[in-house]
Amino acid sequence: MGGNLHFANFDTPTPGSAWMMLSEDERLSRLKDVLTKGMSSVANLIVITSAKDDGQVIVSLQEQLPADKRGTVLLDLEAFLKETVDQGLVVWLDGLGDKNSLRNLRGIEVKA
């Protein structure tokens, strides 16, 4: 069996106790610290806005990146945080609401 199909039964890593015991402020501080030290090339581009105890790290970008760039930047960031902080961390960008003015009349709000 080629590819990485042997991962079919693997569990996705979840954060360890060291991460979960930190406060939100401590988690944010830790992430900002490792980002500045280890990924200086993008540290000014990425703002970490939330670091939840379940491992979800929410970031925003200081400038809009084209579609062929943003995936690489964010996957690199996630891989770096997994390697240096905790294997259970998962990076997401801030979500966007619908720009369709007609559909917006429904009042549906995309949750973060």
Partner 1 sequence: MTAAVQTREGALILDSHKLSYHFDRVQAWEAGERVAPVSVDMSLTRACGAMCSFCYAMMQESQARSSIKTAHALNLLDDFAEIGVRSVSLVSDGESTLSKAYVPFIQHAASLGIDVGNATNAWEWEPEKIEQVLPYLTWIRFTVAAGRPESYASIMYKGPEHTEVFDRAVRHIKYAVDLKKRNRLPVTLGIQMVLMPHLKDEIIPFAQLGLDLGVDYAVIKHCSDDEQHTLGIDYSQYEGLHGLLTQAESMSNEQTKVIVKWSKIRDGDKPTYKRFYGPQFLLQISGSGLVAPSGMFFNARYSKLHIGNFTEERFKDIWESERYWRAMNYLASPAFDAQTMMGTLPIQHYVSVALDNHAKGIQRMQPGVDPKPLHVNFL
Cβ 84 to partner 1, closest distance in Å?
A: 15
Write out the binding residues for partner 1, residues 11-70 only, by CB under 8 A. 11-13, 64-68, 70
Angle at 87 between CA 77 and CA 5, to 5 degrees: 95
Interatomic CA distance for residues 88 and 16, integer angstroms: 7
- List, in sequence order, the alpha helices (H) in 1-112: 17-20, 24-38, 40-43, 67-84, 101-104
Write out the binding residues for partner 1, residues 83-102 only, by CB under 8 A. 90-100, 102
Cβ 8 to partner 1, closest distance in Å?
A: 4
- The CB density around residue 83, as the number of other CB atoms within 10 Å, is 12
Is residue 82 involved in binding partner 1 (CB under 8 A)? yes
Judged by CB under 8 A, the residue of 74, 81, 85, 86 near partner 1 is 74
Cβ 35 to partner 1, closest distance in Å?
A: 15
Taking alpha carbons only, the member of 73, 55, 78 closest to residue 63 is: 73
Taking alpha carbons only, the member of 52, 63, 56 closest to residue 25 is: 52
**Which lies closer to partner 1 via its Cβ, residue 26 or residue 97?**
97
Q: Which residues bind partner 1 (CB under 8 A)?
A: 1-13, 64-68, 70-72, 74-75, 78, 82, 90-100, 102-103, 105-106, 108-112
